[in-house]
Amino acid sequence: MEDHMEGSDLERRYGQLLAQWLERVECELGLQVAEGPPADWIRDVYRDHGELPADRFAQIAFERKLRFVLEAFPEVAAASARDTGLRVDIRPDVTHPSTDFPAGIVIVAELAIQSFDPAGVRAEVADAVQTYLADRYGRLWPLCQEHDRGMHAVTYESEALWWCRAQDHPGGRVPLG
């Protein structure tokens, strides 16, 4: 029983140290990396590297976000082109971490991608492509097949989904297809 208590105390203390470090990093970078408890990838960074300086953590987080954007964008753009017949003449705009932008910036169609998890990034990229199509071509994409209304990209149960707000139901995974 005593060993179980010590393990529990160690885990709690480890969690506190992780949370304090992440709070310092977020404060120094001026951005929120985690909503609620730290995500598994943040725990892995902390486990593997300890209390990294904010600039080093920012580089890791930026590279993660950029990788997910570069994976999601071509798929979402291709799905929109296939469904609408319209070209998506944009590319992600990347500003690597620097003194002026300590966390770096990844922009798709004038929307700064905020998420660091794959589903969140995919939903934000889909939202950016959707906004681009609406602004450039006046085209609503995608439409709910049941309600003939525009859907919105959301993250639901760790997946990027198109969501129909007409009847509050999922309309398919992002990208469609």
Report the alpha-carbon distance of residue 42 to residue 64 in Å, rounded: 11
Read off the pLDDT of residues 111-168 as tens digits, 9 standing for 90 and up. Answer: 999 999 999 999 999 999 999 999 999 999 999 988 888 999 999 998 999 999 888 8
- Computed from CA positions of residues 148, 154, 155, 159, in that sequence, does the dihedral angle turn out positive or negative? positive
Read off the pLDDT of residues 3-58 as tens digits, 9 standing for 90 and up. Answer: 555 668 999 999 999 999 999 999 998 888 877 778 899 999 999 999 999 999 99
| Average pLDDT estimate for 97-113 | 94
